[in-house]
Amino acid sequence: MRRRWRAAVAVTVASLLALTACGGGDGAGQGSQTSDKKKVEVFSWWTGPGEVDGLKAMRAIFEKRNPSLEFFDAAVAGGSGDKARALLTTKLQAGTPPDTFQGHAGAELQGYVKAGQLEPVNFLYDELKLKDVFPGQLIDQISVQGNVYSVPVNIHRSNVMWFNPALLKKAGVTEVPATIDEFVTALEKVKQTGKVPLAIGSEWTMVHLLESVLLGSLGTDAYNGLWTANADWSGPAMTKALNDYKTILSYAGEPAEDWQPAAKQVADGGAAFTIMGDWAYGYFHNPPDGGLGKKSKVDFDWAPSPGTGGTFMWLSDSFTLPKGAPNRDGAVAWLKVAASKEGQDAFNPKKGSIPARKDADTSLYTDYLAEALKDWNTDRLAGSIQHGVTVNDAWRVKINEAVGVFHTDRDVAALQASLAEAAKSSGQ
């Protein structure tokens, strides 16, 4: 499986390079200038329902503010950004960066900084007084040695359990599971109905599930301790957590192609649960032209993933200023929109995320998003693995490979050994 996965990635990158040479997400290539406007290549992985709508809303503000610039959507679909990041690595190594690219706050972003691929954007923070409106702990995650290297546009929550209330009622699940043991009991009850207990997607969604299980089984302090010099990846607590993961994964249906079809199984009543980030809210909730048009608390509902109540496992999408950006001024213009209250309030309600800014219009954030705003300000924090907060790209790839093998062999000892080796080789 590991060899097939690596081969698939290689083929994908080659195909994407060929595609990018011809054009990008908006159907126009960099070489097909059709007006006097100067293109600004914005590289992201926002191609699905909800995220596309959010990007379009922010793009409209950018184009209104900058009539002499033309937005070039260089979004790449697939794998929670895995395919986009693989292509981006190739472009950066070749010295052909986009004007700006999406990067997760935390270890993932810091990897680009340490590779010397980004310009600091302190000048923007000074000009726009951004340190007054972004949380200090978030600025820490996008800074290296006193320099700030990106502009965060949102905060997402990773540890969300989405479920179908009618299906749980039919299965005799009367209380929303709050612990891992309660979750396993609920999964078993659903299994007896003949429905899929747990919907999953492609390989990255299994890593996404793993991070929530680790948090729920280990507890917040021990989970956060995994990213320190005293981390214990080989001990009995980790063995128990991985056995919990094995048990939960045994109730999963056949993997869907990605997170959206897995989430749709829940919304349509074919599956009871899925563990997915809160971008799923935009997909469930948005009208049918950009989502499923489902009704919250009726067609779908949510709770913290089992065992993680009171902890907000977070991630943040941000945009960067690459060294050698072909249109640096255009990139800076995009960063100003991404940083703005107007831009974030247009983007986030559609994306299913909350703003990075502390001065957003809270009236725009209702239903699930109102809960997320409250929890972000009151809960304990833990960083996502799959979405770049706690591990750099090289470490994350090793975790993904180990989980991919585990999905086939279900060997807990081998998985634990692989995760411990990945942590050791990361230089932790």
Q: Are 283 and 355 in a shared domain?
A: no
Q: Is 378 within a domain?
A: no
Q: Is there a contact between 99 and 41 (Cβ–Cβ < 8 Å)? A: yes
Q: Are 196 and 254 in a shared domain?
A: yes
Q: Are 346 and 404 in a shared domain?
A: no
Q: Are 233 and 258 in a shared domain?
A: yes
**Which positions ≥6 away from 340 have C-beta within 8 Å?**
61, 128
- Helix residue spans in 129-175 (DSSP H): 136-141, 165-171
Q: Are 292 and 421 in a shared domain?
A: yes
User: In this predicted structure, what is the pLDDT of residue 408?
Assistant: 95
Q: Are 112 and 10 in a shared domain?
A: yes
Q: Is there a contact between 78 and 203 (Cβ–Cβ < 8 Å)? A: no
Please state whether 50 falls in left (phi above 0), alpha (psi between -120 and 50) or beta: left
Q: Is 366 within a domain?
A: yes
Q: Is 379 within a domain?
A: no
Model confidence pLDDT, tens digit, residues 353-394:
999 999 999 999 999 999 999 999 999 999 999 999 999 999
* pTM (2 d.p.): 0.91
The enclosing domain of 289 has a CATH number of 3.40.190.10
Q: Tens place of pLDDT for every residue, the chain, 428 residues?
A: 444 444 444 444 444 444 444 344 444 334 444 568 999 999 999 998 889 999 999 999 999 999 999 999 999 987 678 889 999 999 999 999 999 999 999 999 999 999 999 999 999 999 999 999 999 999 999 999 999 999 999 999 999 999 999 999 999 999 999 999 999 999 999 999 999 999 999 999 999 999 999 999 999 999 999 999 889 999 999 999 999 999 999 999 999 999 999 999 999 999 999 999 999 999 999 999 889 999 999 999 999 999 999 999 999 999 999 999 999 999 999 999 999 999 999 999 999 999 999 999 999 999 999 999 999 999 999 999 999 999 999 999 999 999 999 999 999 999 999 999 999 998 76
Q: Are 93 and 161 in a shared domain?
A: no
Q: Is 380 within a domain?
A: no
> Containing domain of residue 345, as a range?
2-154+317-373
Q: Are 193 and 303 in a shared domain?
A: yes
Q: Are 71 and 205 in a shared domain?
A: no
Q: Are 165 and 143 in a shared domain?
A: no
User: In this predicted structure, what is the pLDDT of residue 428?
Assistant: 63
Using CA of residue 413, residue 416, residue 422, residue 423, what is the dihedral sign?
Answer: negative
Tokens of 87: 């292509």
Q: How far is CA 54 from the centre of its chain?
A: 15
Q: Is 381 within a domain?
A: no
Rounded-to-integer distance, Cα 296 and Cα 318, Å: 28
In degrees and rounded to multiples of 5, residue 283 shows phi and psi of -65, -45
C-alpha closest to that of 80 among 250, 173, 203? 203
Give the chain's domain count: 2
Q: Are 270 and 404 in a shared domain?
A: yes
Rounded-to-integer distance, Cα 286 and Cα 290, Å: 6
Q: Are 191 and 335 in a shared domain?
A: no
Could you please report the per-residue DSSP string of 369-399?
Answer: HHHHHHHHHHSEEEE-TTTTSSS-HHHHHHH
Strands 100-104 and 38-43: parallel
User: In this predicted structure, what is the pLDDT of residue 79?
Assistant: 65
Rounded-to-integer distance, Cα 305 and Cα 356, Å: 23
Rounded-to-integer distance, Cα 387 and Cα 105, Å: 9
Q: Is 229 within a domain?
A: yes
Q: Is 23 within a domain?
A: yes
Q: Is 382 within a domain?
A: no
